[in-house]
């Protein structure tokens, strides 16, 4: 639904939001959970605007609101995004409209809200909400094909791929927010003589993904039809599905990935709402000759605007590059348009057996690689299974990640006639 909150002519009284390069113009208005860095104050919900955060706890206290908006802001001020998530699209539209009005140029609330800004550089972000269950899908068909080819050269894509949105349950407890480091995992892997050994992972990788956070829950035993599935989505984040390839290769049969993934998963702190993404919806057509989705995964709306045009990038900076004053290098670029399944299809499939999704549950898209070899969404793909190292500025080579390496994911939406917007950064440093 496009409305005046998407008007590209809108300007904010927060100057930095009007710079076309910002990820957070007044047309975006993503939610995150934060506190002032260095304090022990309770986390509250904020809205990113330019290089600032609007502190909704202060905004509740400092600014005169009518009863309706006061009640809407109260749980957000208390650091609780679930309430807004659980209410569904109408409440989310209303919150967006109120924030858009308050943050646009010449708003009556502007003078009050100026006192409620915190520079993003001084905000300590945390996860936007507690994530109860995390499911990771496998919608990147180019990733599935490239990785499949490494293991099964003759049949890279399994027979179910074009019928079933393949997914698995991920580990929720080790999801961390961008900027938080993690230790290189240890684990069991196949030794050179075939006998397994235990030791530090030697094939540490990232995976470029997006994540969708669930809005209203469905009760157990009550599937969400494809026509209602969009209404169950609250917003999206960037997701780095860190992977220990040597652990994964040895453990994953027959029950799938486990310790090769569960040591850390990083998400970006700002939840870009489905409203902000509305201008970037696109047709989700099947390639010529592919089977059409079964009816429970098919709808006119899904075909006509199930896809979302998000350009994605992976950037890498090594300790040596930093030492030499070299900036991070972009390793690849891809588009969420290349995903084989839409978010609505993931929701409809996930709940088709009666499985209950809760507000704040996270659905990962799987690795979003593009169709060309240079568009691999992981080092596994870019280095052809570790056989072909990539060369970095300064002359270093990498097959997999070394300690101190910093991986940054970025995502951005652009369309003629609309304001561009982005996801901020999803950053993680190995062993930090």
For a copy of itself, the closer CB: 2 or 197: 197
Burial of residue 90, with CB atoms counted within 10 A of its CB: 0-12 exposed, 13-18 middle, 19 or more buried: exposed
Among 24, 34, 43, 250, binds a copy of itself (CB under 8 A): 250
- Contacts of a copy of itself in 181-220 (CB under 8 A): 182-183, 185-188, 196-198, 201, 220
Q: Which residues contact 247 (CB under 8 A, 6 or more apart)?
A: 185, 187, 188, 189, 201, 259, 260
Q: How far apart are CA 338 and CA 369, in angstroms?
A: 8
Say how far apart CA 26 and CA 12 lie, in whole Å: 6
Based on the shown chain and the rule CB under 8 A, indicate whether residue 247 belongs to the binding site for a copy of itself. yes
- Residue 308 CB, shortest distance to a copy of itself, in Å, is 23
According to DSSP H, which parts of 63-164 are helical? 67-77, 82-87, 89-103, 110-113, 141-151
- Residue 65 is a binding residue for a copy of itself (CB under 8 A): no
Stretch (H or E) spanning 370: none
- Among the residue ranges 15-23, 156-164, 333-341, 418-426, the one whose residues contact a copy of itself (CB under 8 A): 156-164
- Beta-bridged to residue 339, according to DSSP, are 140
153 lies in the binding site for a copy of itself (CB under 8 A): no
Least distance from C-beta 351 to a copy of itself, angstroms? Answer: 9
Stretch that binds a copy of itself, among 75-83, 101-109, 232-240, 253-261 (CB under 8 A): 253-261
Q: Give the nearest distance from C-beta 402 to a copy of itself in angstroms.
A: 18
Query: Which parts of 298-357 interact with a copy of itself (CB under 8 A)?
Result: 349-350, 352-357
Strands 44-49 vs 52-55: parallel, antiparallel or unpaired = antiparallel
The binder of a copy of itself chosen from 20, 38, 153, 254 (CB under 8 A): 254
278/355 with CB nearer a copy of itself: 355
Q: Angle 102-108-112 (CA atoms, 0-180°, nearest 5)?
A: 80
Sign of the C-alpha dihedral computed for residues 176, 179, 180 and 182 taken in this order: positive
How many degrees, rounded to 5, is the angle at CA 231 between CA 230 and CA 233?
Answer: 70
Contact between 133 and a copy of itself by CB under 8 A: the answer reads yes
How far does Cα 381 stand from its chain's mean position?
20
Catalytic residue chosen out of the listed positions 142, 143, 349, 350: 143
Q: Is 163 in the site for a copy of itself (CB under 8 A)?
A: yes
Among 17, 77, 95, 166, contact with a copy of itself (rule: CB under 8 A):
166
Cβ count within 10 A of residue 46: 30
Q: How far apart are CA 275 and CA 45, in angstroms?
A: 18
Q: Does 252 bind a copy of itself (CB under 8 A)?
A: yes
Q: How far is the CB of 356 from a copy of itself (least distance, A)?
A: 5
Question: Cβ distance 432 to 322 under 8 Å?
Answer: no
User: Given candidates 62, 132, 145, 228, which one binds a copy of itself under the rule CB under 8 A?
Assistant: 132
169 is catalytic: no
Task: Please pick, from the candidates 71, 105, 122, 169, the single residue that binds a copy of itself as defined by CB under 8 A.
Answer: 169
Least Cβ distance, residue 147 to a copy of itself (angstroms): 9
Opening angle at CA 79, ends 78 and 81, nearest 5: 115
Euclidean distance between CA atoms 37 and 318, whole angstroms:
26
> Minimum Å distance from CB 383 to a copy of itself?
20
Window of 12-20, 254-262, 394-402, 421-429 that interacts with a copy of itself by CB under 8 A: 254-262
Query: Is 229 a residue that touches a copy of itself (CB under 8 A)?
Result: no
- 289 near a copy of itself (CB under 8 A): no
In angstroms, the CA 122 to CA 119 distance is 5
Q: Is residue 296 a contact residue for a copy of itself (CB under 8 A)? A: yes
Q: Closer CB to a copy of itself, residue 198 or residue 323?
A: 198
Smallest Cα–Cα separation from 176: which of 262, 252, 52?
262
Name the residues annotated as catalytic: 143
Give the interface with a copy of itself as residue ranges (CB under 8 A). Answer: 132-133, 135, 138, 148, 158, 160, 163-164, 166-174, 176, 182-183, 185-188, 196-198, 201, 220-221, 223, 244, 247, 250-260, 262-264, 294-296, 349-350, 352-358, 361
């Amino acid at each position: 639904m496009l409305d005046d909150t998407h008007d590209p002519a809108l300007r904010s009284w927060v100057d930095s939001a009007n710079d076309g390069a910002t990820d957070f113009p007044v047309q975006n208005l993503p939610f995150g959970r934060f506190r002032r860095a260095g304090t022990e104050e309770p986390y509250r919900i904020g809205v990113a605007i330019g290089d600032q955060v609007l502190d909704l706890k202060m905004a509740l206290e400092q600014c005169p609101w009518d009863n309706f908006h006061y009640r809407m802001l109260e749980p957000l001020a208390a650091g609780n995004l679930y309430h807004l998530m659980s209410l569904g699209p109408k409440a989310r539209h209303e919150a967006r409209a109120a924030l858009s009005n308050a943050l646009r140029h010449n708003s009556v609330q502007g003078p009050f809200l100026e006192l409620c800004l915190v520079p993003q550089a001084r905000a300590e972000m945390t996860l936007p909400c507690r994530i109860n269950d995390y499911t990771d899908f496998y919608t990147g068909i180019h990733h599935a094909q490239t990785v499949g080819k490494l293991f099964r050269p003759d049949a890279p894509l399994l027979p179910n791929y074009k019928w079933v949105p393949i997914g698995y349950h991920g580990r929720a407890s080790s999801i961390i927010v961008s900027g938080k480091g993690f230790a290189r995992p240890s684990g069991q892997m196949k030794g050179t003589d075939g006998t397994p050994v235990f030791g530090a992972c030697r094939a540490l990788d990232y995976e470029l993904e997006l994540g969708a956070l669930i809005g209203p829950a469905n009760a157990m035993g009550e599937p969400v039809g494809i026509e209602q599935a969009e209404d169950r989505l609250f917003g999206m984040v960037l997701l780095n599905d860190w992977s220990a390839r040597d652990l994964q290769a040895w453990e994953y049969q027959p029950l799938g990935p486990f310790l090769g993934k569960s040591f850390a998963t990083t998400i970006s702190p700002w939840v870009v709402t489905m409203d902000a993404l509305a201008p970037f919806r696109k047709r989700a057509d099947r390639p010529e000759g592919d089977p059409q989705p079964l009816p429970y995964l098919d709808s006119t709306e899904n075909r006509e605007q199930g896809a979302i045009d998000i350009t994605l990038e992976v950037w890498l900076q090594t300790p040596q590059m930093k030492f030499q004053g070299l900036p991070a290098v972009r390793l690849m670029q891809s588009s969420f348009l290349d995903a084989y399944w839409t978010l609505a299809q993931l929701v409809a499939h996930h709940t088709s057996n009666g499985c209950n999704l809760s507000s704040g549950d996270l659905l990962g898209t799987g690795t979003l690689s593009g169709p060309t070899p240079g568009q691999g969404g992981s080092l596994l793909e870019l280095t052809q299974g570790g056989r072909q190292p990539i060369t970095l500025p300064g002359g270093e080579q990498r097959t997999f990640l070394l300690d101190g390496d910093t991986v940054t994911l970025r995502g951005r939406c652009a369309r003629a006639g609309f304001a561009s917007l982005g996801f901020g950064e999803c950053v993680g440093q190995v062993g930090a």
